[in-house]
Amino acid sequence: MDRSGIFAGDDPFAIARSWLAEAEPLEPNDANAIALATVDGTGLPNVRMVLLKDIEPAGFVFYTNYTSRKGQEIEASGKAAFVLHWKSLRRQIRVRGLTSREEGPQADEYYASRSLKSRLGAWASRQSQPLSSRTALMAEVAKVTASKGTNPPRPAFWGGVRITPLEIEFWADGAFRLHDRFRWERSTPEEGWKIERLNP
Ligand SMILES: Cc1cc2nc3c(=O)[nH]c(=O)nc-3n(C[C@H](O)[C@H](O)[C@H](O)COP(=O)(O)O)c2cc1C
């Protein structure tokens, strides 16, 4: 298979890391923003942006509130998908996989790296629940600021979600809509990857 240039290599996580590094100086904001898809109990999909914080040797990690809508849908299904799209590079990466929580020292470390206001914000927000007013939210922020102090611990309801992919597709724009697509696929995380070139 003629998988050369930007598609080359035997580690899809390394390819994803290298594409993101290329996009970072070109995108005006949040080159690591992903559109994260989950599915509810009826099979109705749901999608929203989150920030991809880690491309690990074998997984993709973002952070969120576990009691949010996405948190609950992920908990129930154990699955998620996302797409990264860079307009600057005219490329996308699609990922589908199995989810697990990252709520150990790695999550503590990431939480601690955030600004104090963001750390307190995570405590104050009952993400995805109805909110009566902005004032009510600010009152909640004031309350947690008074009660949690300047070194708040990571809330147990907030942490990382790791997506262990079963499928990763790398897509790059080609002339006349004849794009290049390579799909890496496996049926379990223990298996090796099957790589195929796909029609555009
Ligand atoms: C660029 C961008 C980045 C975002 N990053 C995050 C994030 O990392 N984590 C998060 O929980 N929400 C993030 N959000 C907010 C989510 O899109 C969403 O509004 C929120 O998580 C609630 O989603 P849910 O009700 O489906 O759970 C981000 C939004 C945008 C536009």
Check pocket membership of 50 for ligand 1, CB cut-off 6 A: yes
Distance CA 113, CA 120 (A): 13
Category of 96 on φ-ψ map: left (φ > 0), alpha (ψ -120 to 50) or beta:
beta
Query: If you measure from the C-alpha of residue 151 to the centroid of ligand 1, how many angstroms do you get, rounded to a whole number?
Result: 24
* Residues 43-98: tens digit of each pLDDT: 999 999 999 999 999 999 999 999 999 999 999 999 999 999 999 999 999 999 99
Residues that are catalytic:
177
Query: If you measure from the C-alpha of residue 48 to the centroid of ligand 1, how many angstroms do you get, rounded to a whole number?
Result: 6
Is the Cβ–Cβ distance between 192 and 186 less than 8 Å?
yes
Average pLDDT, integer, range 18-23: 98
Atom of ligand 1 nearest to the CA of 33: 1
Category of 183 on φ-ψ map: left (φ > 0), alpha (ψ -120 to 50) or beta:
beta
At residue 103, what is the residue type? Answer: E
pTM: 0.97
Q: Is the pLDDT score of 163 beyond 90?
A: yes
The H or E element spanning position 137 is helix 134-148
Check pocket membership of 48 for ligand 1, CB cut-off 6 A: yes
Report the chain's mean pLDDT, rounded to a whole number. Answer: 97
62: tokens are: 């973002």
Check pocket membership of 53 for ligand 1, CB cut-off 6 A: no
